[in-house]
Structure 1
Amino acid sequence: MDTEDFGYLAIETGQDFLMEQEENLLYKKFGVRAKGKQNLEIGEIDTKTLKLVELVNYSPKYDSDYLTNLINKAKKSWKGVDTNEWLINIRGGYEA
């Protein structure tokens, strides 16, 4: 798999999974959920331990209604929260 962030990656998956796919996955864009090991100190991913969890449909089109709906849902959850203060707390008191 060729990625923008990590270059070429090999992700372990079963032969059965690939045989079950109705369309050819070669040269297609899609998301991938994978599990593997990561160095917690430096954040580096051990690319040799990656195993496929699932393929995710990738649809890059912009949907204004969908985005507006998500924003409206989030507004209810964030009502009464000082977002600037929350962000500073998340950053550990550091300004960006």
Structure 2
Amino acid sequence: MNPKVADFGMARIFGMDQTQENTNRIVGTYFGVLVLELISGRKNNSFCETDDAHDLVTYAWRLWSNGTALDLVDPVIVDNCQKSEVVRCIHIGLL
């Protein structure tokens, strides 16, 4: 099975009988946050003042800047993943 993640709020702009729509606004801006949530196993809103970061993106940027991006990876998957692919996914999430 190859799960696919899609939509990113686009469904809200469709009428009940519509199958496609054009938009001139930015769509998919939460994709990076979703990628970081999947990698870290944490929700974007799971941070508090004591974490010294207000959100997942700020935390991920701090780790990326310090060269410790792999510290973001969920401990449940860290031993079962290819590090280079995870770093690439983190980079994509931060774009």
TM class by smaller structure: under 0.3
Q: Which of the two has greater strand per residue?
A: 1
The normalised TM-score by structure 1 is 0.21
Of structures 1 and 2, the larger Rg is shown by 1
